[in-house]
Amino acid sequence: MKTFAIALLLILSPLFIFAQGGLKVGDSAPSFSATDQNGKLIRSEDVLAKGDMVLVFYRGTWCPHCRRHISNLQKDLLQITEKGANVVVVTPEQPEFIEKMVKKSGATFSILHDASYKIMLDYKVAFKLGREIVPASFKQMQKNARKHNGNLEDMLPVPATYIISRDGNIRYIHYNPDFTERASVEEIGAQLVNL
């Protein structure tokens, strides 16, 4: 098991270096605006005016870990909203695929289409998919990314979670290049209590 963990770290280390760019707990969160699945313009300032924000990045509906994570967020959403926080999700997927995620997960929170990768880049989670990062599944991931993102840029986000307090500062970061590892609703809820 230890050998597997070391091998995984070596495989994913280029991804970690590329995407982990320096956002830290205590930093000011970059502001953003984008359109959600309902065609509504969502601005981070407006969300923060209502309470703390849980900002989640996912790769695509094609990713079973992403579908499970978004479904779990929806299933246990009350654990977040009862603490005065709002969930906003960001993906590079085109709106037609976001709609599929909404149908599969039942998501009632905003899922934003990051068409130009600006939010992903500002939050230091964007990486360019490469054969050295995921050698065994590169071709399939590339095919999925190109189809769902609608371009040939092969950009994906590390599936990260940020908790941003009303004052616009980052209070919690879950960032792991291992795409199977996600912040649980329980962990997010516990962090919100600590705010």
Give the per-residue pLDDT at 64: 95
**Which pLDDT band holds residue 22 (cuts at 50, 70, 90)?**
low
* CA 76 – CA 64 distance, rounded (Å): 18
**Which pLDDT band holds residue 95 (cuts at 50, 70, 90)?**
very high
> What mean pLDDT value characterizes the chain?
89
By CB neighbour count within 10 A (0-12 exposed, 13-18 middle, 19+ buried), where does 87 fall?
buried
Mean pLDDT lowest for which of 29-38, 84-93, 133-142, 157-166?
133-142
The CATH number of the domain where 176 resides is what?
A: 3.40.30.10
Residue 18 has pLDDT above 60, yes or no: no
Residue 147 has pLDDT above 70, yes or no: yes
How many other C-beta atoms are found inside a 10 Å radius of the C-beta of residue 178? 16
Please state, for a pLDDT cut of 70, what percent of the chain lies above it: 89
Q: By the 8 A CB rule, do 52 and 84 touch?
A: yes
Q: What is the layout of strands, in order, in the sheet containing 170-174?
A: 110-113, 85-91, 52-57, 161-164, 170-174
Tell me what the mean pLDDT of segment 46-71 comes to: 97
Strand partners, 57: 90
The larger pLDDT score, comparing residue 3 to residue 127, is at: 127
Give the per-residue pLDDT at 7: 40
Domain range holding 129?
2-194
For the chain, the domain total comes to 1
Give the per-residue pLDDT at 13: 41
Tokens encoding 123: 């939050």
